[in-house]
Structure 1
Amino acid sequence: MLPTHGRYDYHPWPTRRAYAWPGDARLAVYLGVNLEHFAFGEGLGAELAPGGPHPDVLNFAWRDYGNRVGAWRLIELLDEFALPATVLLNSAMYDYAPALVAAHRARGDEIAGHGRTNSERQSVLPEEEERRLIAESTAAILRHEGRAPRGWLSPWIAESHATPDLLAEAGYAYTLNWCADDAPIWMRTSSGRLLAIPYPQEINDVPAIVARKDAASQFADMIVDDFEERLRQVRDGLPQVMGIALHPYLVGQPHRLRPLRRALTHLSACRGVVWITTAGGVLDHVATLPPGTIPGD
């Protein structure tokens, strides 16, 4: 027998129970906007070009463009289509760019935990230090937003063996770390269950643009093709969740923002057929479903 995580069981897709999202939709769509801040001269960070020794000014400044300019352009685009967002927030943003977080707050966007900074990876920390990372990020959001976040995405989607237990222990209701399904599933933890809501590793601008070097038009086409294929698939009656992961230092660049506008125009035209929501909205609807509906319940 291979080692296993023990968090969930195998649930064959054709045997799932059918249910609907609000408005009798079968496809829920949410946008995950990553607001991230990075240390200067040390730590991790995505690269536009191969970085040299620290301080890596080229890549630091490229990422910082996202918070200074790109994120504001992305907010304009979201406002253009009246689209909600789940903001995946490094808590360091409260000190670095409080006006940007306030702009998302004014829109009514959901604020979810995304660690302290993407310069660090929580999976390599001893358990007590990881617990402290979660606690510090959570406390900052509670202090500024007036309510604790309900969802979490780890920086770099990095988990230790204890992460789901620590999240449930800290009061989190859902995680976006596990991209193993097209619909929510319940995970087991030492502090009760934790809902795993699908977060994309394919319809995600970092793997697409940074890792695979896809063009902006290719990424926009991926969004549209993923959306259209899912609309075809949900005719079997089984609901799905489609997440779109966005980072302002990538899609906030003018040449990428224009193709993204094309993709969001396509999605927005299907309101009434699909449910455009937030990750927290998915959690709230799952709470209304009869027991046994969601795998792992």
Structure 2
Amino acid sequence: MTDATHPTRSHGRFPYSALPDRPVFDWPGGKRLAVYVALNVECFSFGEGDGAQLAPKGGEPDVLNASWREWGNRVGVWRLRDLADELDLPLAVLLNSAAYHDCPGLADAFRARGDEIVGHGRTNAERQGTLGEAAERALIREASDLYRHHEGRLPDGWLGPWISESAVTPDLLVEEGYGYLLDWMHDDQPVWMRTRGGQPILSVPYSHEINDIPAVTTRLVSGPDFARMVSDQFHEMLAASRQAPLVMSIALHPYLVGQPHRLRPLREALREIAAHRDEIWLTRPGEIAQAFGAIAPFEG
């Protein structure tokens, strides 16, 4: 609701807070910059539904784009796993629950590395924000039951497919048991969000800029240009973190940066970041959420 004094509509989840006015703290190990790599493992429906496009869709079945996306789970994701092993990088695997059925053994390989599994809906062929509350709750519950079955526990965090939210998504997530979400990119530090039941949920930064989908499929940047974006973001945030602790995320999709011509420059950008591991906290979003909750608990 708006009025003459407040002409813009507010979501009511958190108040305005200027970064320079906040208390300064350190991440674990006395570090000021937390960096995490988010690997999106996504499944799509053949012949229907949403999906990123390499070229304009020419009707269904859209073999060109469907097979390009499937290449990511058959080939690209394994090259990215090998790169993470090579550089000793921890990963957050943002996993569609459909991957347990569609890609047998894929989740097992990352679980064996000790990587964090983050909830990412059922499939990226759909958007939860378009659903009514009951249907959205059912989507979250169906995915969550599969995570509980395969992982032995509910993931700590969630990213909606296509970063799609309804007006009640944070409420539904906290009611299901999630502790943090990645959909909002309004800050470079975690931010507590209010929900309707009084139990907060933590928003952990997840970059919409250092994210290969908008960079490659919308802005049409090259592999070297995307790698340069990653490197420039890192060095600027490392310098800025001297004044305030920050979170940098790198969002990757196997069908995009798993492609050899994009993987090669990305390798060098990630190698450069890994070479600074003594200065930064290379981590996962669940560990960021846990650390921030201890440092700055929700105060209502």
Q: Which range, TM-score by smaller chain?
A: over 0.9
Q: Which position in structure 2 is the counterpart of 1:121?
A: 127
Equivalents in 1 of 2:153, 2:66: separation in Å?
A: 31
Partner of 1:71: 77
Partner of residue 4, structure 2: none
Among 223, 243, 268, the residue aligned to 1:216: 223
Q: For residues 278 and 235 of structure 1, what CA distance do their matches in structure 2 show? A: 21
- Show structure 1 runs of 4+ deviating over 3 A: none
Asked whether 1:162 is paired with 2:165, we answer no
**Residue identity (%):** 54
Displacement of 1:291 in angstroms is: 4.3
In structure 2, C-alpha distance between the alignment counterparts of 1:91 and 1:148, rounded to whole Å: 12
Q: 68-77 vs 94-103, which deviates more?
A: 94-103
Q: 1:290 to 1:124 in 2, by over 3 A?
A: closer
1:26 and 2:27 are equivalent in the alignment: no
Contact 1:20 1:239 in 2 (8 A): yes
Q: What do the CA deviations read for 1:165-198 (whole angstroms, capped 9, x no partner)?
A: 0001111100000000000010000131010000
Contact 1:23 1:272 in 2 (8 A): no
1:174 aligns with 2:180: yes
**Alignment correspondent of 1:145:** 151
Q: What secondary structure sits across from 2:38 in the alignment?
A: strand
Query: Paired residue for 1:85?
Result: 91
Please show how residues 29-108 of structure 1 align to structure 2 within 5 Å: 29-108=35-114
Report what 1:202 is aligned to.
209
Q: Residue 261 of structure 1 corresponds to which residue in structure 2? A: 267
Deviation sequence 1:186-241 (CA, Å, 0-9, x none):
000013101000000000000101110000000000000000001111111x1000
Measured in 2, the distance between the counterparts of 1:102 and 1:268 equals 25
Q: Which moved more, 1:283-292 or 1:76-85?
A: 283-292
Q: What does the per-residue CA deviation read over 1:84-133, in whole Å, with 9 as the maximum and x for residues that have no partner?
A: 11110100000011211110111111001000000000011110000000
In structure 2, distance between residues paired with 1:133 and 1:284: 26
2:283: which partner in 1?
277
3-state SS in 1 of match to 2:66? helix
Provide the rounded CA distance (Å) in 1 between the counterparts of 2:275 and 2:98: 36
Which amino acid in 2 is paired with 1:74?
L
Q: CA deviation at 1:290?
A: 4.9
- Work out whether 1:3 is the aligned partner of 2:21: no
Partner Cα distance (1:5, 1:98) in 2: 40
Paired letter, 1:54: E
The CA deviation at 1:41 is 0.3
Aligned partners of 1:157, 1:103: CA distance in 2, in Å?
25
**SS of match in other structure, 1:133:** helix
Measure the CA separation in 2 of the matches of 1:115 and 1:273: 34
* Alignment-mate amino acid for residue 227 of structure 2: A
Give me the TM-score of the superposition, normalised by structure 1. Answer: 0.97
Counterpart of 2:119 in structure 1: which amino acid?
G
For each residue in 1:1-39, what CA deviation from the matched residue of structure 2 results, as whole angstroms up to 9, or x when unmatched? 221110010001110111101110000000110000000
Which amino acid counterpart does residue 266 of structure 2 have in structure 1? L
- 2:117 is the counterpart of 1:111: yes
When normalised by structure 2's length, the TM-score is 0.96
Deviation string, structure 1 residues 228-287 (Cα, Å, up to 9, x no partner): 001111111x10000000000001001111011000110000011000000001011112
Name structure 2 gaps, 5 residues minimum: 1-6
Distance (whole Å) between structure 2 residues aligned to residue 283 and residue 127 of structure 1: 26
The CA distance in 2 between the partners of 1:125 and 1:63, in whole Å, is: 25
2:220 partner amino acid:
K
Superposed CA RMSD in Å reads 1.0
- In structure 2, distance between residues paired with 1:188 and 1:80: 40
What amino acid is the match of 1:144?
Answer: H
1:241 corresponds to 2:247: yes
